C-alpha cells in the first residue's frame, strides 16, 4: 500500500482509471474500497437526478428560431479591425502629445539661445 489513500480516492472521484498499483491498493484497503463503492452510488444518484426527458420537438423549435445564416463576423477580422481602430486612436493621441512636447522643447531652446524670442521680441 505504497500509494496514499488520498491519491487513490482523488483518482476515483475524477472517474479516472486506476493504474495497477492503485487497483492493488483498493483491493487491500477497506477505506478506499468503501469510498469507491460510495462514489459509484453517488455518481449513479447524480446521473439519475439528471436523467431528463428532452421536451418533444425541442430540436425543431431551436431550428425554427434560427436565422438563415449565422452572423457573419469572422473572429480574426473582427479582432483585427478592433485592434486597428483601438490602435489608431492611441496613435493619433500619442502623436499629438509628441508634437506639443517637441514644440514646447523648441520654444524653450529658442528662449535660451535668443532671449528676445522669449520676451516676444518686444525689444
Partner 1 sequence: MDDIAIIRQVLAGDRDAFRVLVVRYQRPIFRFLHSYRLSPAQREEIAQEAFTRAYQNLSRFDLTRATPFSSWLFTIAKNLAAHAWDRAAHQREQLVATLPEHAVDTVPVAQARLENAERRSLVALALAGLPAAFRNAVVLSCLKELSLEEIAAIEDCSVGTVKSRIFRGKQLLRAALIETEG
Q: Which residues bind partner 1 (CB under 8 A)?
A: 9-10, 13-15, 38-39, 42-43, 45-52, 54-55, 58-59, 61-63, 65-75, 78
Report the alpha-carbon distance of residue 9 to residue 4 in Å, rounded.
9
Q: How far is the CB of 111 from partner 1 (least distance, A)?
A: 56
CA dist list (Å): 115 to 103, 106, 118, 123: 17, 13, 5, 10
Q: How far is the CB of 58 from partner 1 (least distance, A)?
A: 6
Using the minimum distance from each CB to partner 1, give the nearer residue, 15 or 122: 15
Report the alpha-carbon distance of residue 29 to residue 18 in Å, rounded.
14
Q: How far is the CB of 98 from partner 1 (least distance, A)?
A: 36
Radius of gyration of the chain, Cα coordinates, nearest whole angstrom? 36
15 and 43 Cβ atoms separated by less than 8 Å: yes
Using the minimum distance from each CB to partner 1, give the nearer residue, 83 or 96: 83
Q: How far is the CB of 15 from partner 1 (least distance, A)?
A: 6
Using the minimum distance from each CB to partner 1, give the nearer residue, 46 or 89: 46
18 and 11 Cβ atoms separated by less than 8 Å: yes
33 and 26 Cβ atoms separated by less than 8 Å: yes
Using the minimum distance from each CB to partner 1, give the nearer residue, 14 or 121: 14
Amino acid at each position: 500500500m505504497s500509494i496514499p489513500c488520498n491519491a487513490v480516492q482523488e483518482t476515483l472521484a475524477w472517474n479516472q482509471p486506476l493504474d495497477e498499483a492503485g487497483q492493488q491498493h483498493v483491493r487491500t484497503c477497506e477505506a478506499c474500497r468503501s469510498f469507491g463503492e460510495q462514489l459509484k452510488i453517488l455518481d449513479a444518484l447524480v446521473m439519475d437526478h439528471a436523467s431528463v426527458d428532452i421536451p418533444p420537438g425541442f430540436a425543431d423549435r431551436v431550428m425554427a428560431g434560427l436565422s438563415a445564416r449565422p452572423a457573419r463576423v469572422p473572429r480574426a477580422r473582427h479582432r483585427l479591425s478592433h485592434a486597428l481602430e483601438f490602435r489608431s486612436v492611441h496613435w493619433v493621441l500619442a502623436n499629438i502629445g509628441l508634437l506639443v512636447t517637441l514644440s514646447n522643447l523648441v520654444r524653450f531652446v529658442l528662449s535660451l539661445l535668443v532671449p528676445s524670442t522669449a520676451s516676444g521680441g518686444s525689444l
